[in-house]
Amino acid sequence: MAKVTINHNNGIVSAYESDRAVNLYQFLAGLKLIDAPCGGAGGCGKCKVKILNPHVACQEKEKETFTEAEIAEGWRLACLHSIAEDITLALPPEEVLTEIISQGYLRDFVLKPHIAKRLDQNGNTVVMAGQEIIGIEQSDTRNRLYGLAIDIGTTTIVAGLIDLSNGQELASISCLNGQKTFGQDVITRINYAMTNTNGTLIQQKTILQDLRKLIKGVIAQCSRDYTITSKDIYEITVGGNNTMIHLLAGIDPSSMGVSPYLPAFTGALVLKAVKDLHLPVSEFCLVYCLPAVSAFVGGDITAGILACGIHQEAGNTLFIDIGTNGEMVLSRNGRLVACSCAAGPALEGMNISCGVRAAEGAIEDVQLRGSGADIVVEVSVIGNVKPTGLCGSGLLAAVAELVRTGILHKSGRLLEHPLVEKVAGKKRFVIDRDNEIYLTQQDIRQVQLAKGAILSGIQTMVQAAGMDFSEIDRVLVAGQFGAHLKAESLTGSGLIPRELESVITYVGNTSKSGAYLCLLSTAERETVEKVAGQVSYIELSHLEGFDNVFVKAMEF
């Protein structure tokens, strides 16, 4: 055994024991002290730790990631080291997400929940799910009827406690998805399920832990004003991508990880909260997961269609959820086409040299003032503190501004400018020299790949519908990513065609608001199931000639 001593940021020192030869990333991830988008494959450079033992060998990848001074201080990438002897570490400051978007756009609807209670002739309470009796409770419990509307995202989970009698949300809380330690995106999660014994069940356990924590949290949050216990929760509805739903149900997601990317199921899934998932809720509680369209267009997207009502609105609507995967739906007078594209983690600030999550210290907006050689950079930083890097919105704002001012050629190449410098043969644009924040040519290339993926998805769908951009009446941007984003950054960086700038609306967490509708209306539930079956799905990577569309869409 070897001793692992960790000096935490807050001055606390903790000590652990570990078998020798255990990978350091795996060890720290097991303690939930660290997570990296690549899941510890040596790819992303985000699992930074400071090893305080002297003379720790340094690999090529680390020389790219750290400055010489940092390497001398002991900064290393955890995934490239194993625990060979007693080791002492310091961890970088913990990233705290400032806000998880918990609310989403919601249209009007008629309140008529699937779960209802009525009194029988003996004065006992009958619990009904639709027309079916699912339980009988002694005496009159009709005033205790609550539900949860949940969005399970790959990165974050949001839960709202809802009074089923009137639809009021009493509390809403969120947390990071604990499966993060198994990898940042759905493919790495599927891979974990495929390659580890009980990999599916381990991840199911993780998500159920998170849900238990959230249930406890919402009950605690409203305990001052209401006397609700978690046993008063009779129904849970869940919007989530199809991988998340498979893992929640403990169903092997492997088949979605390989072509032809077939899920084990797409229809709405109903589980028993206590028997199947061991959640601390009413013994009669059901868990309803919204239906998916395909492996990569899931219940989070059908929830978005439902919440925004794009299936029933006249006119043409483009709905986009931007993340590691960009999912999108195009409605032509209610006829729906959907696709999903692999945008990669760049837009979430990963794979970007100065990339950070949207937390305190992140630059969320960049503006270039002046013109020509006199251009100066202005930034806005979350929390108004010393900037630590660029988050997704800052990254796109910077790229959009570089395109606008002509410092970035349409091919994606940085042109000559006083703020463009070359270091060791590599070009970069200086955003904040004092705080060493730069946008490198390589970063711009990463954005180019992401924006090529999204734009080519949009183009392909618009083409499949036989339309052109001018016919699109509105663009709805959903998800965590869009919140801090200006419409002009989305179009200026070329993710969304410029002619659509004036019709972009941010709709927030529609995965949760779609789940909310299904919690409060049986009719909405039937609608989403019908709509999910009517969406035609385009698998972009199977299309002939998609390469050309993608490559062309990389132009700014």
Tell me how far CA of residue 284 lies from CA of 207, 269, 277, 278, in angstroms. Answer: 21, 16, 12, 12
Of 42 and 135, nearer to another protein (C-beta) is 42
CB of 257 to another protein, least distance (A): 3
CB of 476 to another protein, least distance (A): 27
Q: Which of 128, 187, 464, 483 binds another protein (CB under 8 A)?
A: 187
Of 428 and 474, nearer to another protein (C-beta) is 428
Of 124 and 541, nearer to another protein (C-beta) is 541
Q: Which of 2, 126, 194, 202 binds another protein (CB under 8 A)?
A: 194
User: Quick check: 118 binds another protein (CB under 8 A)?
Assistant: no
Which tokens hold the place of 451? Answer: 């924006």
Q: Which of 168, 371, 411, 470 binds another protein (CB under 8 A)?
A: 411
Of 272 and 417, nearer to another protein (C-beta) is 417
Cα distance between residue 440 and residue 426, in whole Å: 8
Helix (H, G, I), strand (E, B) or coil at 537: strand
Of 121 and 411, nearer to another protein (C-beta) is 411
Give the neighbor-by-neighbor strand order of the sheet with 2-7. Answer: 13-18, 2-7, 87-90, 48-51, 75-77
Residue 216 near residue 229, CB atoms below 8 Å: no
Cα distance between residue 469 and residue 499, in whole Å: 7
The residues with which 211 forms a beta bridge, in sequence order, are none
- Contact range with another protein by CB under 8 A, out of 165-173, 244-252, 266-274, 424-432: 424-432
User: Quick check: 420 binds another protein (CB under 8 A)?
Assistant: no
| Amino acid, single-letter form, for residue 31 | L
CB of 440 to another protein, least distance (A): 8
Residue numbers 252-281 binding another protein by CB under 8 A:
254, 257-259
First-to-last C-alpha distance (Å) of the chain: 54
Residue 224 near residue 216, CB atoms below 8 Å: no
Residue numbers 444-503 binding another protein by CB under 8 A:
445, 448-449
- Contact range with another protein by CB under 8 A, out of 161-169, 307-315, 361-369, 438-446: 438-446
The site that binds another protein (CB under 8 A) totals a number of residues, namely 39
Cα distance between residue 153 and residue 244, in whole Å: 7
Of 184 and 316, nearer to another protein (C-beta) is 184
Q: How many CA atoms lie within 13 A of 141 on its CB side?
A: 22
Of 402 and 478, nearer to another protein (C-beta) is 402
CB of 235 to another protein, least distance (A): 34
Q: Which of 144, 427, 451, 486 binds another protein (CB under 8 A)?
A: 427
CB of 201 to another protein, least distance (A): 18
Of 132 and 416, nearer to another protein (C-beta) is 416
CB of 39 to another protein, least distance (A): 8
Calculate helix-pair angle for 510-520, 522-534, nearest 10 degrees.
130
Residue numbers 12-41 binding another protein by CB under 8 A:
38-39, 41
User: Quick check: 542 binds another protein (CB under 8 A)?
Assistant: yes
Read off the DSSP letter of residue 92: P
One character per residue 328-357, x = contact with another protein (rule: CB under 8 A): --------------x-x-------------
CA 304 to chain centre: 14
User: Quick check: 554 binds another protein (CB under 8 A)?
Assistant: yes
Cα distance between residue 213 and residue 268, in whole Å: 25
Of 376 and 424, nearer to another protein (C-beta) is 424
Torsion of CA 32, 90, 51, 202, to 10 degrees: 0
Of 48 and 272, nearer to another protein (C-beta) is 48
Residue numbers 75-104 binding another protein by CB under 8 A:
80
**Pairing of the two strands 48-51 and 2-7:** unpaired
Residue 513 near residue 290, CB atoms below 8 Å: no
* Residue 83 neighbours by CB under 8 Å, 6+ apart: 2, 4, 18, 19, 20, 21, 22, 23, 24, 27
Of 535, 475, 100, 158, nearest in space to 320 by CA:
475
User: Quick check: 550 binds another protein (CB under 8 A)?
Assistant: yes
Of 212 and 445, nearer to another protein (C-beta) is 445
* Residue 247 neighbours by CB under 8 Å, 6+ apart: 179, 189, 193, 200, 203, 204, 207, 253
CB of 341 to another protein, least distance (A): 11
Q: Which of 188, 237, 353, 527 binds another protein (CB under 8 A)?
A: 188
Helix (H, G, I), strand (E, B) or coil at 445: helix
Which tokens hold the place of 74? Answer: 């002991």
CB of 447 to another protein, least distance (A): 11
Of 260 and 383, nearer to another protein (C-beta) is 260
Of 102, 126, 129, 132, nearest in space to 113 by CA:
129
Of 446, 450, 217, 465, nearest in space to 353 by CA:
446
CB of 439 to another protein, least distance (A): 13
Calculate helix-pair angle for 186-195, 242-249, nearest 10 degrees.
30
| Amino acid, single-letter form, for residue 541 | S
**Pairing of the two strands 335-342 and 325-332:** antiparallel
CB of 36 to another protein, least distance (A): 13
CB of 266 to another protein, least distance (A): 19
- Contact range with another protein by CB under 8 A, out of 244-252, 268-276, 320-328, 548-556: 548-556
Of 37 and 309, nearer to another protein (C-beta) is 37
CB of 180 to another protein, least distance (A): 16
Binding-site ranges for another protein (CB under 8 A): 38-39, 41-43, 80, 183, 187-188, 190-191, 194-195, 254, 257-259, 342, 344, 411-413, 425-427, 441-442, 445, 448-449, 539, 541-542, 547, 550-552, 554-555
